[in-house]
């Protein structure tokens, strides 16, 4: 294992984030705070509690997931796309560095940035509502698994995309709507029976449900199922990245 190569890639990606601090950290936090103020004030004044939890606190896990998913994908996809765009990725691939080491460097940095953003949002939410985390260990576990899984997914998008438009295509047109329709601001029990069944086909439901359970012990699906879905998604992403490097998909062009 070439630890030096992993550290160089990781430090470079983290340095790029700090040089663009407002875009990398401040922007997603401010956006989440605005969501929290608007939805918490507008809807919270009409819905006091959901599942025995104050509505303002109830939406915190959903808002964190909205930020984590979009930022994990964006950070990882831009991180690998720019070396492809400039051609420096071929220098990395010609060096004595395996795809695992490249993956650990890029995905590790993207996941770290998303993890930091999640903690900042969590701390910020504490100024607006009283938050008590029922299961801190599982909260951190879901947080870390989500950051890693969707950073891997973003890495795949970065390898697949051949222009800047495609980088934004999936996060904006697929992920964001799935998060909004995945129970970020409501519980699926509020929906008609037919829509409850449709919603269960949304994979983001399982992420938000498990994460919310770690806070309030309230969930739409079982915690075991939520954890299983996250692990399956993680495994699928790992296999996909391995295949892309093995075949040179979008890397040998």
Map out the domains of the chain as residue ranges: 3-247
Model's pTM, two decimal places?
Answer: 0.89
What is the number of residues in the chain?
253
pLDDT, tens digit, 9 for 90 and up, residues 103-135: 899 999 999 999 998 998 888 888 878 888 999
Residue-level pLDDT at 51 = 74
- CB count within 10 Å of CB 4 equals 10
Residue-level pLDDT at 44 = 62
Judge whether 159 and 244 are in contact, CB under 8 Å: yes
Residue-level pLDDT at 45 = 64
Instruction: Write the CA distances from 235 to 4, 81, 120, integer angstroms.
Output: 26, 22, 28
Structure tokens at 70: 């979009």
Residue-level pLDDT at 85 = 81
Residue-level pLDDT at 13 = 86
Q: What angle do CA 111, 158, 251 make, to 5 degrees?
A: 125
pLDDT, tens digit, 9 for 90 and up, residues 127-173: 878 888 999 999 999 999 999 999 999 999 998 988 888 888 888 88
Confidence of residue 253 (pLDDT cuts 50, 70, 90): low
Judge whether 203 and 166 are in contact, CB under 8 Å: no
pLDDT, tens digit, 9 for 90 and up, residues 206-247: 999 999 999 999 888 999 999 999 999 999 999 999 998 888
Instruction: Write the CA distances from 35 to 43, 65, 66, integer angstroms.
Output: 11, 13, 10
* Cα(224)–Cα(243) distance, integer angstroms: 29
Rg of the chain over all Cα atoms, to the nearest angstrom? 19
Judge whether 113 and 17 are in contact, CB under 8 Å: yes
pLDDT, tens digit, 9 for 90 and up, residues 54-89: 888 888 898 889 888 988 998 899 888 888 888 777
Strand partners, 53: 50
What is the 8-class DSSP label of residue 202? -
Find the largest Cα–Cα distance for the chain.
60
Residue-level pLDDT at 4 = 86
pLDDT, tens digit, 9 for 90 and up, residues 3-36: 888 888 899 888 877 777 766 677 777 877 787 7
What is the 8-class DSSP label of residue 190? G
Q: What is the DSSP string of 133-171?
A: -S-HHHHHHHHHHHHHHHHHHHHHHHHH-SSHHHHHHHI
């Amino acid at each position: 294992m070439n630890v030096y190569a992993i550290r160089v890639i990781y430090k470079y990606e983290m340095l790029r984030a700090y040089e663009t601090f407002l875009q990398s950290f401040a922007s997603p936090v401010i956006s989440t705070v605005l969501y929290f103020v608007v939805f918490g004030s507008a809807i919270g004044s009409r819905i006091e509690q959901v599942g025995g939890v104050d509505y303002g606190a109830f939406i915190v896990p959903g808002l964190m997931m909205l930020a984590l998913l979009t930022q994990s994908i964006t950070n990882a996809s831009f991180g690998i796309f720019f070396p492809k765009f400039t051609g420096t990725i071929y220098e990395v691939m010609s060096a004595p560095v395996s795809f695992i080491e490249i993956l650990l460097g890029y995905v590790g940095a993207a996941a770290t940035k998303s993890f930091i953003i999640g903690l900042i949002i969590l701390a910020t939410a504490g100024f607006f509502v009283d938050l008590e985390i029922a299961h801190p260990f599982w909260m951190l576990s879901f947080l870390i698994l989500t950051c890693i899984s969707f950073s891997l997914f973003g890495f795949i998008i970065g390898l697949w995309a051949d222009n800047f438009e495609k980088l934004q295509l999936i996060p904006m047109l697929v992920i964001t709507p799935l998060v909004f329709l995945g129970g970020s601001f409501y519980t699926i029990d509020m929906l008609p029976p037919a829509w409850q069944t449709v919603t269960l086909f949304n994979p983001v439901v399982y992420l938000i449900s498990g994460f919310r359970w770690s806070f309030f012990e309230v969930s739409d699906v079982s915690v075991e199922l939520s954890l299983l879905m996250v692990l399956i998604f993680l495994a699928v992403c790992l296999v996909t990245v391995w295949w892309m490097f093995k075949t040179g998909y979008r890397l040998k062009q």
